[in-house]
């Protein structure tokens, strides 16, 4: 009888609180991480080497075409301007060596001159990454299936050209209003270009690309900007938020 | 209730409330809602540079100069080529769907021998063996009017001592028979509609199916002050935009044209032809307005009015179509008027032993083809000429399944226009000798090869690919390969020798007399490109543009004037059977006063038994009920004058 009374007194609150706190902790700290799987980029591409060591700038690969469309990721055609391994010559050498062109490990192990002599990297780790690109993609005439951290679905039309003129310094005035949309740190050291507003901050200094975090339910990137963020910024900037603005 | 159980429930309630204070549930709902938009069967876009790559399309009879729209190198659409005068930015309904046809499941994937897939090596072996066994009894039927591939195939025949080269029946052929056959001319006739001030389209459905339709439409659009008159048995789309429609039965077009010649001669026009006096006497005696009116039903005052407009024009042109006689009469009228008719030179050949274009057009396929071996290149005679072709062994070359490939012994899949080198040399009707070339835009479909390469050795060439033949052609005509690849056209500014040209007076006098079949009503077959042609069935997307005046459901629609319908005892929606030639067709009736009384207008190009979902089983095949008659005086065969009996069912 004593036990039952005790239970009636505090048993109605304590289990509730325990359950409440437990799921709060799980829901804030544990569960969100379980929704994502990490996927590595097709090979180790170092922005740092290309930008800092080779003196390239963003527009070398990520440029606007003559018609105003945005090139996005580089293609083999662009990469081959520097990584000058001739696919035809390479395939001939692979055939002469009796190697299956789809057996990448065998091609790498064979250390074919036509490939090795045209690698540009110095350090072994970088050379291995470059070799992987050349063997798996360049000589196979297969475009690199880059993983887009800012992936947007097909029903969203995003024009880089329309956002080209956004100035981080000007936007800094709306720093507080934009705090849920843009990482506030972006406003601390505004760069020459506004890429950091939406893209991974200081990606140009990155040596090993971070893993792509893919939502296991939706398939979207963790960094995919949701519609409400687009709308928030559009509203703050006095831009239209009609459906057809982005859904053409 | 035990303590543990109560506590568990209380903790569960707490947990449920607690989770609602985290983003987990809301994020999960959001993710699930996005997940429902991403089913695996929803196609995804390909991203990359969007380009417009110039090339040529061979799906319509004249061919189109196009730009294939690509994204990341993959074709997804077709548009006109603004830089090429054949297009001027326009495109025909068939070629507009080139990419859809290229990607169609109706493409032929591999060579076939008697319905069984074989390797390319085996196909070449069979081809070579059969060619050797056939000796000189080999024929070629080409559905390509303008390509250098005809040089290649005709050179194969020349090497075999055969002259059996046939094209599918076309306006180019009847024009050539009139010009080089009856009138002693050389080169190819063209018509400058853009710069003419009066254009008489004497049967030429120029904005829908005659000649280079896209260039014709551009000429019409650019000719702001010109007056266009259409003469024919029905008010076609062309007639709907011209200033005037003169109803003339197809078999009476030659007589109608000579009736206009009467007024022109009466006005004192002449031409330095050796038989001018004979021609004038023939017209003034045999084709007086009264006689023409009696023979064709066209009022004399209508002919007088047309003649008056042509005579008052500074640069008139008459564009004939139909029979050889109608073409000869039209050319003669143009020579008298001295207006916008042009004579185009032929481009230099690239293949030794190749026939000239005129030689290729001499074979009369309507009289029948009978050979030990028949090679059919991108043509569909089994559909359009079901009784005319007899062969011991048939080789069909095409990119898609057709009635002809289904019936052939050996099928060689050809590359689609966008996957190969191809060219267009002076499509019939253009005002100047013009050459356009196209390089591959897309990679060949899986398993596809260039079937034309198999004929290089039989033609006596040591080229490794047909692309080299195209290169040789470009060099032979003196054009710039780079400019052609960029989509520009090469124009040859020469005029063939006109001396010795006659007005074909003796032949025309007899050939222009209207000859009609014995059926109850005249048949006016007409072509609408969105419906298809003799060689090309309708294409994906095109059926959406086919009018209820051509197709309702799966039923073909024929049109007739109300007086004709009354005479036949039918009304709108009646189902009728049309009997003519050696065949029958079923159709629904539509009443349209734009059809000459006593005539039924029926659309060509339907009723396919082989093909894709867009063409197979749609409507009926009007080619079955066409009657081949002999133009004895012109030495040719014609479908003009076909008649049918109509029975309500």
pLDDT on residue A207: 94
Check CB contact of B24 with chain A, cutoff 8 Å: yes
pLDDT on residue A2: 47
Across the interface, do B31 and A217 touch by the CB < 8 Å criterion?
yes
Between CA A131 and CA A150 the distance in angstroms is 27
Task: Tell me the pLDDT band of B2, cut-offs 50, 70 and 90.
Answer: low
Asked whether A40 and A212 are in contact (CB, 8 A), the reply is: yes
Length of chain B: 649
Using alpha carbons, select from B480, B500, B477, B497 the residue that is nearest to residue B488.
B480
Interface test with A, best of B20, B49, B73 (most A CBs within 10 A): B49
Of all residues in chain B, the percent with pLDDT exceeding 70 is 100
Environment class of A236 (CB within 10 Å of its CB; exposed 0-12, middle 13-18, buried 19+): middle
pLDDT on residue B597: 95
Across the interface, do B18 and A23 touch by the CB < 8 Å criterion?
yes
The three-point CA angle B641-B171-B491 to 5° equals: 165
CA distance B486 to chain A (A): 18
Q: Which residue has the tokens 């629609």?
A: B557
What is the spatial order of strands in the sheet that B227-232 belongs to?
Answer: B244-247, B227-232, B198-202, B316-320
Across the interface, do A218 and B35 touch by the CB < 8 Å criterion?
yes
Task: Select from A15, A35, A226 the Cβ nearest to the Cβ of B7.
Answer: A15
Across the interface, do B11 and A215 touch by the CB < 8 Å criterion?
no
The two three-digit tokens of residue A96, written as one number: 């002469």
Between CA A177 and CA B513 the distance in angstroms is 88
Task: Select from A12, A20, A226 the Cβ nearest to the Cβ of B18.
Answer: A20
Check CB contact of B544 with chain A, cutoff 8 Å: no
Within 8 A of A15 by CB-CB distance, chain B residues are 7-8, 10-11, 14
Asked whether B435 and B477 are in contact (CB, 8 A), the reply is: yes
pLDDT on residue A8: 53
Task: Tell me the pLDDT band of B181, cut-offs 50, 70 and 90.
Answer: very high
Check CB contact of B13 with chain A, cutoff 8 Å: yes
Please check the confidence at residue B590 and state whether its pLDDT lies above 90: yes
SS3 A145: coil
Sign of CA dihedral B136, B142, B144, B145: positive
Beta bridge mates, A215: A36
pLDDT in tens, B205-251: 999 999 999 999 999 999 999 999 999 999 999 999 999 999 999 99
State the average pLDDT over residues B401-425. 96
Across the interface, do B22 and A26 touch by the CB < 8 Å criterion?
yes
B164-167 and B188-191 as β-strands: parallel, antiparallel, unpaired?
unpaired
A36-39 and A212-215 as β-strands: parallel, antiparallel, unpaired?
antiparallel
Half-sphere exposure of B300 (CA within 13 A, CB side): 10
Length of chain A: 248
Task: Select from B8, B13, B31 the Cβ nearest to the Cβ of A35.
Answer: B31
Alpha-helical regions (H) of A11-120: 14-25, 31-34, 47-48, 58-61, 76-79, 87-96, 104-110, 113-116
SS3 A233: helix
Between CA B62 and CA B60 the distance in angstroms is 6
pLDDT on residue B28: 93
SS3 B186: coil
Q: Which residue has the tokens 């707490």?
A: B14
Using alpha carbons, select from B142, B162, B167 the residue that is nearest to residue B414.
B142
Within 8 A of B71 by CB-CB distance, chain A residues are none
pLDDT on residue B40: 85
Buried b (16+ CB within 10 A) or exposed e, B294-329: ebbbbebebbbbbbebbbebeebbbbbbbbbbbbbb
Please check the confidence at residue B448 and state whether its pLDDT lies above 90: no
Please check the confidence at residue B1 and state whether its pLDDT lies above 80: no
Within 8 A of B25 by CB-CB distance, chain A residues are 27
Between CA B61 and CA B38 the distance in angstroms is 43
Check CB contact of B11 with chain A, cutoff 8 Å: yes
pLDDT on residue B66: 97
The three-point CA angle B615-B617-B623 to 5° equals: 80
Using alpha carbons, select from B201, B175, B200, B177 the residue that is nearest to residue B189.
B175
Interface test with A, best of B18, B25, B37 (most A CBs within 10 A): B18
pLDDT on residue A5: 52
pLDDT on residue B615: 93
In angstroms, what CA-CA distances link B367 with B24, B363, B638? Answer: 80, 9, 9
Per-residue pLDDT of chain A (248 residues; tens, 9 = 90+): 444 554 455 556 899 999 999 999 999 999 999 999 999 999 999 999 999 989 999 999 999 999 899 999 999 999 999 999 999 999 999 999 999 999 999 999 999 999 999 999 988 999 999 999 999 999 999 999 999 999 999 999 999 999 999 999 889 999 999 999 998 888 887 777 889 899 988 898 999 999 999 999 999 999 999 999 999 999 999 999 999 999 98
CA distance B474 to chain A (A): 28
Using alpha carbons, select from B411, B407, B383, B384 the residue that is nearest to residue B395.
B411
Mean pLDDT over the full length of chain B: 94
User: Would you say the ipTM is above 0.90?
Assistant: no
Across the interface, do B28 and A217 touch by the CB < 8 Å criterion?
yes
Residues 57-96 of B with CB under 8 A from A: 72
The two three-digit tokens of residue B399, written as one number: 């990119």
State the average pLDDT over residues B615-636. 86
Segment (H or E) for B579: strand B575-580
Cβ atoms within 10 Å, residue B386: 16
Interface test with B, best of A13, A146, A217, A229 (most B CBs within 10 A): A217
pLDDT on residue A21: 95
Segment (H or E) for B384: helix B381-384
Across the interface, do A217 and B7 touch by the CB < 8 Å criterion?
no
SS3 B276: helix
Interface test with B, best of A1, A16, A213, A225 (most B CBs within 10 A): A16
Interface test with A, best of B1, B8, B34, B74 (most A CBs within 10 A): B34
Task: Give this prediction's pTM.
Answer: 0.87
CA distance A16 to chain B (A): 4
pLDDT in tens, B324-372: 999 999 999 999 999 899 999 999 999 999 999 999 999 999 989 999 9
Domain extents for chain A?
Answer: 148-248
Half-sphere exposure of B374 (CA within 13 A, CB side): 27
Buried b (16+ CB within 10 A) or exposed e, B522-532: bbbbbbbbbbb
CA distance A196 to chain B (A): 23
Between CA B50 and CA B41 the distance in angstroms is 25
Task: Tell me the pLDDT band of B515, cut-offs 50, 70 and 90.
Answer: confident
State the average pLDDT over residues B108-117. 95
Helices B24-35 and B3-20, axial angle in degrees (round to 10) = 60
Q: In chain B, what are the helix, strand and coil shares in percent, each to the nearest 5?
A: 35, 25, 40
State the average pLDDT over residues B274-287. 96
Query: Which is more confidently placed, A11 or B116?
Result: B116
| Closest chain A residue to the Cα of B22, Cα to Cα | A27
DSSP code at position A115: H
């Amino acid at each position: 009888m004593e036990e039952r009374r005790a239970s009636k007194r505090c048993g109605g609150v304590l289990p509730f609180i325990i359950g409440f706190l437990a799921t709060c902790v799980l829901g804030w700290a544990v569960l969100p991480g379980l929704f994502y799987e990490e996927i590595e980029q097709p090979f180790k591409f170092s922005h740092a080497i290309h930008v800092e060591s080779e003196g390239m700038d963003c527009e070398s690969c990520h440029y606007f075409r003559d018609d105003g469309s945005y090139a996005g990721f580089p293609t083999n055609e662009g990469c081959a301007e520097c990584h000058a391994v001739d696919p035809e010559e390479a395939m001939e050498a692979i055939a002469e060596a009796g190697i299956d062109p789809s057996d990448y490990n065998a091609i790498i192990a064979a250390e074919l001159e036509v490939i090795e002599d045209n690698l540009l990297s110095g350090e072994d780790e970088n050379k291995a990454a470059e070799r992987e690109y050349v063997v798996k993609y360049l000589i196979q005439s297969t475009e690199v299936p880059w993983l887009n951290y800012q992936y947007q679905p097909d029903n969203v039309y995003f024009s880089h050209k329309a956002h080209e003129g956004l100035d981080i310094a000007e936007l800094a005035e709306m720093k507080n209003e934009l705090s849920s949309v843009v990482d506030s740190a972006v406003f601390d050291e505004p760069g020459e270009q506004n890429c950091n507003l939406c893209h991974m901050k200081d990606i140009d200094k990155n040596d090993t690309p971070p893993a792509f975090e893919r939502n296991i339910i939706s398939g979207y990137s963790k960094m995919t900007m949701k519609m409400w963020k687009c709308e928030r910024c559009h509203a703050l900037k006095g831009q239209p938020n009609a459906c057809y603005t982005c859904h053409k | 209730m035990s303590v543990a159980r109560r506590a568990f429930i209380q903790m569960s309630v707490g947990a449920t409330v607690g989770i609602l204070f985290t983003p987990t549930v809301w994020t999960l709902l959001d993710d699930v809602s996005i997940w429902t938009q991403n089913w695996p069967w929803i196609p995804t876009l390909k991203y990359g540079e969007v380009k417009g790559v110039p090339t040529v399309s061979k799906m319509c009879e004249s061919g189109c100069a196009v730009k294939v729209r690509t994204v990341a190198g993959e074709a997804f659409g077709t548009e006109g080529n603004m830089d090429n005068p054949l297009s001027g930015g326009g495109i025909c309904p068939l070629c507009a769907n080139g990419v859809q046809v290229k990607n169609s499941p109706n493409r032929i994937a591999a060579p076939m021998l008697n319905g069984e897939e074989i390797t390319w090596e085996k196909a070449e072996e069979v081809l070579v063996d059969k060619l050797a066994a056939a000796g000189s009894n080999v024929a070629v039927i080409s559905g390509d009017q303008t390509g250098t591939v005809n040089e290649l195939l005709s050179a194969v025949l020349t090497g075999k001592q055969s002259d059996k080269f046939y094209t599918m029946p076309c306006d180019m052929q009847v024009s050539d028979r009139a010009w080089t056959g009856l009138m002693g001319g050389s080169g190819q006739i063209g018509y400058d509609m853009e710069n003419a001030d009066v254009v008489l389209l004497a049967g030429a459905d120029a904005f829908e199916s005659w000649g280079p339709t896209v260039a014709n439409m551009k000429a019409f659009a650019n000719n702001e002050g010109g007056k266009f008159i259409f003469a024919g048995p029905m008010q076609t789309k062309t007639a709907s935009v011209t200033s005037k429609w003169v109803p003339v039965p197809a078999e009476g077009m030659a007589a109608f044209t000579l009736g206009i010649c009467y007024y022109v001669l009466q006005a004192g026009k002449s031409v330095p032809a050796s038989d001018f006096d004979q021609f004038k006497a023939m017209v003034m005696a045999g084709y007086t307005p009264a006689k023409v009116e009696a023979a064709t039903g066209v009022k004399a005052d209508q002919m007088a009015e047309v003649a008056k407009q042509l005579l008052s024009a500074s640069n008139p042109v008459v564009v004939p179509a139909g029979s050889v006689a109608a073409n000869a009469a039209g050319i003669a009228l143009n020579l008298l008027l001295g207006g916008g008719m042009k004579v185009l030179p032929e481009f230099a050949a690239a293949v030794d032993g190749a026939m000239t274009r005129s030689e290729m057009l001499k074979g009369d396929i309507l009289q029948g083809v009978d050979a030990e071996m028949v090679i059919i290149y991108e043509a569909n005679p089994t559909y359009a000429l079901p009784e005319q072709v007899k062969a011991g062994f048939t080789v069909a070359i095409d990119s898609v399944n057709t009635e002809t490939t289904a019936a052939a012994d050996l099928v060689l899949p050809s590359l689609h226009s966008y996957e190969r080198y191809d060219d267009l040399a002076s499509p019939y009707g253009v005002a100047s000798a013009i050459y356009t070339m196209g390089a591959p835009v897309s990679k060949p479909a899986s398993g596809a090869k260039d079937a034309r390469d198999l004929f290089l050795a039989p033609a006596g060439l040591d080229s490794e690919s047909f692309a080299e033949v195209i290169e040789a052609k470009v060099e032979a005509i003196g054009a710039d390969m780079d400019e052609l690849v960029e989509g520009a056209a090469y124009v040859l500014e020469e005029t063939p020798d006109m001396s010795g040209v006659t007005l074909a007076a003796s032949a025309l006098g007899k050939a222009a007399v209207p000859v009609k079949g014995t059926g109850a009503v005249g048949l006016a077959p007409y072509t609408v490109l969105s419906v298809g042609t003799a060689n090309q069935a309708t294409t994906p997307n095109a059926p959406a543009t086919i009018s209820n005046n051509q197709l309702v459901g799966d039923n073909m629609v024929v049109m007739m004037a109300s007086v004709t319908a009354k005479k036949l005892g039918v009304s709108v929606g009646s189902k009728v059977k049309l009997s003519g030639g050696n065949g029958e067709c079923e159709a629904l009736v539509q009443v349209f006063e734009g059809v000459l009384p006593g005539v039924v207008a029926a659309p060509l190009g339907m009723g396919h038994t082989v093909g894709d979902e867009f063409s197979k089983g749609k409507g009926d095949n009007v080619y079955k009920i066409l009657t081949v008659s002999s133009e004895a005086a012109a030495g040719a065969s014609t479908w003009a004058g076909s008649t049918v009996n109509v029975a309500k069912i």
